[in-house]
Structure 1
Amino acid sequence: MTVYGWMRMAWTDEKLKWNKTEWGGLHELHLADHEIWQPDIILYNSASGSSIDHYGNSHCVVFPTGEVFWVPPAQFLVFCDLDLRLWPYDTQTCHLTLGSWTYDGDQVDLQLGVPFDGFEMDLWNTNSEWQIVDVKGNRAEQYYSCCTEPYIDITYNITLRRQSPAYSAIVITPAAAIVLMTLAGFWLPPNAGEKILLNGCTAIIICLFLLYFSQKLPAMAGNTPLVVLFYSSSLHLVILSLVVTVVVLNLSRNCYSIPVPWVLQSLLLGWPGRMLGLHHIVLLVPSAEDRHESCSGMEDSSIEASSSGGNVSIGDDSRRVLTRTSSHRRHQVNWILLAIAIDRLCFLLYCLLFIILATVYSV
């Protein structure tokens, strides 16, 4: 964090006292910063390397009482311990620790200025991304094993909150769209190839967002943003959804000569099937079969009647073919019902999983 501001320091120098009446009513002096003694107040946790010149070259104001007033422009560059777990709704606290570099507390006794925390926000320029929530000053005395005298430092704790309306539109809204796209795939017809296309597009979108996060956020151990974890978990769920889609397409498109196991068939035609909304599909299937069989029977009868000179009769081989075709069609319908049931079960399961993810990663 880089802080630009004015540093206000005041101290008393016994060597700079004078009597105003003896000097023509002189009530103040303006002296260059290199002409008088100044405290060597340094930023302890500076991130600017070997450069420790924090203050600009500005004059000091000296009063007859020996009080020296110095307000130089200052620039502080410090390391901040970032916690990006709640990004982009995070709040960060950075510390500025100031103290004398060569003088102990018996020689230079640092005190907080007025107001009590020594930090004024009158000339604060608003930032487009960060908002200052709180600033607190704290004076501390440190004792080291090498020395008996105290060493005094003053620490300013600056609490910042990220302003995130833009991030909400860029990150949060697409997350809701990804959830809806993933759930919508389960409501497409079980034999629709568009299910794979929809899941593939969703996976690509999530990968693009993860690449955006890798460029936007620093890699920090133990502080992975929750929104990144949500996108990562969503990618796992989409890949599993893609696997389920392949299974469903297999069940609905392939022609099976074997029936659905009786346990699954009883569940599909019983109350579990009604709970999944399969009852109206089950009711429509026999009527369609009957119509198809009757139409096929009428066609075969008319053909046989015309060839036999008007005597209408259906041979045993024809009945066998019709029965076998009807049986295969019934098996295939049951497999399609199983595919629809898998889709709807996965829809309910994914709704529950996304609710759990949103609850866990929004804390």
Structure 2
Amino acid sequence: MDIGIYLTVSQIGELDEQRQSFSTSGWFTFQWVDDSLKWNVTDFNGTEQIYLSSQTIWTPDLVLLNSATGIKLFSHQQVPVSVEHTGLVVWYHGDLFQSQCDFDIVHFPFDTQICNFVLSTWVTTSDKVKLTPLPHQLDIYTTGENGLWQLRNITTFLKEHQYPRLIVELTLKRRPSYYVYNLIIPITLLSLLSSLVFALPMEYGDKVALSMTVLLSFGVFLTQMTTNMPKTSRQTSYLTIYLTALLTLSSLSVAMMILILRIYKRQGKVPKVLQKWVVLWKCFSSNKKQTAAVDQDHADDVSTEDPSWKDVSATLEAMCLRLFLFMNISLGIVLFTVLIVLTN
């Protein structure tokens, strides 16, 4: 007996990345021809269709194999069944279906998930019953909208097995705007703030405190994101790697700020190597154009300067400002390139 199957989705429910499961409300349409239910229309006053209880006729012993709430026979519900005079039986089974789904979080939050329903018979083998997908087209206007997910496509295909098995595959696209405004943009602004700490005057006494505040903020965002992610080592989100890299840079900025403050408070004579390094940096960062034909008197004046430890700390701070800004901006460009370009 051939059993045609068709899925109608009325509402995409919750997709739980932590438990790796998703819920969908809708109904399955099952069709088959039962020769024992045929009748002659003229013998019954032109009656072409009747409705019977699913408990009074034969129904297939179908189950959802990858159910997240336990395996139950679809026939346990007493629902009406449409029977036509040709023996065509149409059975509708509606429910809130919860099934397991293996999430791919690599491109989070610009990811596309593929979740499926695996239908099979419980005891009937493939030589007695054949499951056949019915052709259909997804109607996005009659499907309920979900705030975080968009249903892109529904495909159905068979899988060879001892028992008949049919897989209904749902392609779901995440709506990323919530995570862009509440996660990515705050993280990007914090990364710039962690670099601008080096631009504060040295007399500002809470530079280390500000660096620690930014570091703790990164830790809060990382904890919040990993809480909602599946606990698996097979996949790692690019956003998690990006946030971990920013957390590392923020930790380095705290360490460098402490080092700069210690150099700033130091007394004594500056070594010759550090003096030359400070002079070269001042020449490099000067707003005046430096050419090969620099005046010799000016060069002698620069070479006779005696930088102090405060000059060393200011030079190191200026280098850190440029270096950390470059690394933070580069990490952001790489992240958006990977998430947006590779996912399209």
* TM band (smaller chain): 0.7 to 0.9
Q: Using a 3 Å threshold, how does the CA distance of structure 1 residues 51 and 245 change in structure 2: closer, same or farther?
A: same
Whether 2:282 is the aligned partner of 1:273: answer yes
Q: Using a 3 Å threshold, how does the CA distance of structure 1 residues 240 and 208 change in structure 2: closer, same or farther?
A: same
Q: Which residue of 2 aligns with 1:263?
A: 273
Instruction: Quote the Cα distance in structure 2 between the aligned partners of 1:54 and 1:353.
Output: 61
Choose which of 140, 144, 149 in structure 2 pairs with 1:125: 144
Choose which of 198, 205, 209 in structure 1 pairs with 2:217: 205
Structure 1, residues 206-265: CA drift from partner, whole Å, max 9, x if none? 122223224333322232322222222222211211111112112222322x2x222221
The worse-fitting range, judged by mean Cα deviation, of 165-174 and 230-239 is 230-239
Instruction: Quote the Cα distance in structure 2 between the aligned partners of 1:230 and 1:176.
Output: 10
Kept in 1: contact 2:267–2:309 (CA 8 A):
no
Q: Which has the larger radius of gyration?
A: 1
Instruction: Quote the Cα distance in structure 2 between the aligned partners of 1:122 and 1:37.
Output: 35
Task: Give secondary structure in 2 for the equivalent of 1:8.
Answer: strand
Kept in 2: contact 1:95–1:156 (CA 8 A):
yes
Q: Which residue of 1 aligns with 2:69?
A: 48
Q: Which residue of 2 aligns with 1:196?
A: 208
Task: Give secondary structure in 2 for the equivalent of 1:361.
Answer: helix
User: Residue 159 of structure 2 aligns to which amino acid in structure 1?
Assistant: A
The worse-fitting range, judged by mean Cα deviation, of 227-236 and 169-178 is 227-236
Q: Which residue of 1 aligns with 2:155?
A: 136
Instruction: Quote the Cα distance in structure 2 between the aligned partners of 1:140 and 1:233.
Output: 43
Task: Give secondary structure in 1 for the equivalent of 2:97.
Answer: strand
Q: Which residue of 2 aligns with 1:350?
A: 324
Structure 1, residues 24-64: CA drift from partner, whole Å, max 9, x if none? 22211110000000111221222222444487432111111
Kept in 1: contact 2:26–2:94 (CA 8 A):
yes
Bigger relative contact order, structure 1 or 2, given CA contacts below 8 A and separation 6+? 2
Count of aligned pairs: 302
Instruction: Quote the Cα distance in structure 2 between the aligned partners of 1:3 and 1:189.
Output: 57
Choose which of 334, 340, 343 in structure 1 pairs with 2:308: 334
User: Residue 104 of structure 1 aligns to which amino acid in structure 2?
Assistant: T
Task: Give secondary structure in 2 for the equivalent of 1:346.
Answer: helix
Kept in 2: contact 1:81–1:94 (CA 8 A):
yes
Q: Which runs of 5+ in 1 are unaligned?
A: 145-150, 280-329
Q: Which residue of 2 aligns with 1:15?
A: 36
Q: Which residue of 2 aligns with 1:233?
A: 245
Q: Which residue of 2 aligns with 1:296?
A: none
Q: Using a 3 Å threshold, how does the CA distance of structure 1 residues 188 and 77 change in structure 2: closer, same or farther?
A: same
- Normalised to the residue count of structure 2, the TM-score between the two structures is 0.80
Instruction: Quote the Cα distance in structure 1 between the aligned partners of 2:335 and 2:234.
Output: 15
Q: Which residue of 2 aligns with 1:284?
A: none
Structure 1, residues 82-110: CA drift from partner, whole Å, max 9, x if none? 11222222211101111222222331121
- Normalised to the residue count of structure 1, the TM-score between the two structures is 0.76
Choose which of 9, 27, 48 in structure 1 pairs with 2:48: 27
Instruction: Quote the Cα distance in structure 1 between the aligned partners of 2:251 and 2:112.
Output: 34
Q: Which residue of 2 aligns with 1:290?
A: none
Q: Using a 3 Å threshold, how does the CA distance of structure 1 residues 243 and 227 change in structure 2: closer, same or farther?
A: same
Root-mean-square deviation over aligned CA pairs: 2.5
Higher helix share: 1
